[in-house]
Amino acid sequence: MKLSQIAQEFGGKLVGEDREIKGLKSISSAREGDLTFLADRKHLETLKNSEASAVLVPEELDIDIPQIVVKNPQNVFYKLLELFYAEEPPSGISPRASVSERAQIGSDVYIGDFAVIEEGVKIGDRVRIYPGCYIGKNTSIGEGSIIYPNVVIYRDTQIGRNVIIHSGCVIAGDGFGYYQEDGKHRKIPHVGRVVIEDNVEIGANTTIDRAMVDETVIKEGTKIDNLVMIAHNCYVGENTILVSQVGIAGSTKIGKNVILAGQVGVADHITIGDNVIVTAKSGVGKDLEPNKVYGSGLQAIEWSKWKKVMFYLYKLPEIIKKLKQS
């Protein structure tokens, strides 16, 4: 693809020779034929020593290689990744898949080897279901969605359009609910469902539990990382981001545009307001007001210093008692 074509496609200005671009790379790894991008001037010296054939920049620079000046080089680079490395989607239904005669299958659908599609399932147009997936009874999957290998989706689940679910996810398994009777843990039946709205992406090995009697809901545009746990009856608002190893206990309500960083744990029946950010490794044990940043995670410190901190922490009640008596 010519630099002039890229400039025209994204409303940019080409400065320098019109070269053919064969690939996209970072500044440090780019070679001849590659296009890279500069999002921050602190990387300018690295760029000057780069072997890249051209660079996307936010403003014209005094450099020797051709450049395309665009408003947001990083975003243009991301879009070019889609153009340069687009995969040909698979098509057709494998004869080794098990598809119920009572399932409704749209047009241009792909169902891979050893996938199981139960009765009452509704699959929209252009859906891709990769090998080894299980889609339980009366589940619906909206058009353009992608279900990667070995995903398990239990019965009665509703999945919107253009949803991406990565390998190893379990959607709508029973919530962790028990009651005590006669000194034993008795299982609470979970007869609700999971609803995942349009344009949601769910990372590998994430689990989302079905509600006890109502719905566990993931609203439109939310992005969920790998290894996230969302318990029964939770509600996650629009455009929220849940980073890896987040754990959310039952009946928690999370607003829109929320960010929960890695390893955040949220207790049950908590409400987190819109536009909240919770920093990594924090524990949330009470409601959080909207439009604020919260955090309690400890940064790693040198071990001998940490032992001293803990020594005085255990001594704190005694120290406070002596101060009160003085």
Just list the catalytic residues: 232
Cβ contact 93:110 at 8 Å: yes
Helix (H, G, I), strand (E, B) or coil at 15: strand
Residue 81 CA, chain-centre distance (Å), reads 19
80/74 Cα distance (integer angstroms): 10
150 sits in which H/E element? none
Cβ contact 35:24 at 8 Å: yes
Residue 130 CA, chain-centre distance (Å), reads 19
Q: What are phi and psi of 306, to 5 degrees?
A: -65, -40
Q: What are phi and psi of 288, to 5 degrees?
A: -115, 130
Cβ contact 130:149 at 8 Å: yes
Residue type, 65: I
The DSSP line for 154-186 is -TT-EE-TT-EE-TT-EEEEPP--EEEETTEEE
175/245 Cα distance (integer angstroms): 18
Q: Which residue has the tokens 């169902």?
A: 111
Long-range contacts of 88-91 (CB under 8 A, 24+ apart): 89/126, 89/128, 90/128
**DSSP H helical segments within the chain, as ranges?**
3-9, 44-48, 73-84, 303-325
Task: Measure Cα distances from 306 to 228, 251, 311 in Å.
Answer: 29, 36, 9
Dihedral sign, Cα of residue 48, residue 53, residue 57, residue 63 = positive
